[in-house]
Amino acid sequence: MFYHDRELQYKVRVDNPNPVFARMLQQAIGGIEGEIRVCLQYMFQAWGARGPAKYRNMLLETGTEEMAHIEMLATAVALNLEGAPVSMQDEFAKDKMVGAIMGGMDPRHILSSGMAAMAVDANGVPFNGSWVVGSGNLAADMYANVMAESTGRVLATRLWEATDDAGMKDMLAFLIARDTMHQNQWLAVIEELGGLNAHPIPNSFPQSQEVQDFSYAFVSTYVGNQETIAGRWAAGPSLDGKGEFRVEKAAPLGGEPKLAAPDPRGHAQTEQMNGEGMIDQAAHKLASIS
């Protein structure tokens, strides 16, 4: 069950409304780096969580906080749209080029939402639920969460750089701070689960069943002369402490694939199913004539 408070988690103030910045803020709502993504990701991870209840409870609390961030950003979009022209006629009259591109404003903020935020990104593309990660493996999900918060923080810092509105900078500074905490929060869970020693994920699968010759080999696919590969991943003990890194030159070990003839019920071309093309057929005819 969810409850709501009528007040925002943090103040949202727009000193100088900017419809173009409203469009940019849409990325932080419905884009792949946005708050809808992390909100649903944490919620679905929580609703499917098995194991210690503390992880489920923490995910629920943080997912609910992300709802508050969507609310803040949606409010910021609406405030930035206040004063935007509902009709573009005046803009066309002033400058046809500006009118043609709507001055960078998203026309759907006029046509679809009535000067309000939408569940879309900065290009108007609807939020995509396939971005939501919830694998049922807590460690794997935490790494996905760190990535989501990292790219979200990158976006928020870029938005901070893109505005000179003091109110917007203040709101974004708050969201950046929360991204800092959430990155550390998910890393803390990974540490609690064993950190690097819990790798490879899932650690419940016996590594004896792997093709172990390749468990810690960096496969170099460079086709030129073999160069010295320098990097932590190329030599020395593996990060999980269970193997030694080495470099292996890529080689075709699988042979050439051979597929069966097409199934007649799939209605490929007759020549495909017979295994003969026109050149082969002509050659057979010539051979029979001679």
DSSP state of 196: G
How far apart CA 108 and CA 202 sit, in angstroms, is 44
Is 69 known to sit in a ligand binding site? yes
Is 267 known to sit in a ligand binding site? no
CA-wise closest residue to 168 among 19, 13, 8: 13
Which value, in Å, is the radius of gyration of the alpha carbons in the chain? 28
Supply 44's token pair: 């679905």
Say how far residue 19 (Cα) sits from the centre of its chain: 26
Is 161 known to sit in a ligand binding site? no
Is 66 known to sit in a ligand binding site? yes
Is 35 known to sit in a ligand binding site? yes
Supply 271's token pair: 């020549």
3-state secondary structure 119-184: CECCCCCECCHHHCCCCCCHHHHHHHHHHHHHHHHHHHHHHHHHCCCHHHHHHHHHHHHHHHHHHH
Binding residues for Mn(2+): 35, 66, 69, 149, 182
Binding residues: 35, 66, 69, 149, 182
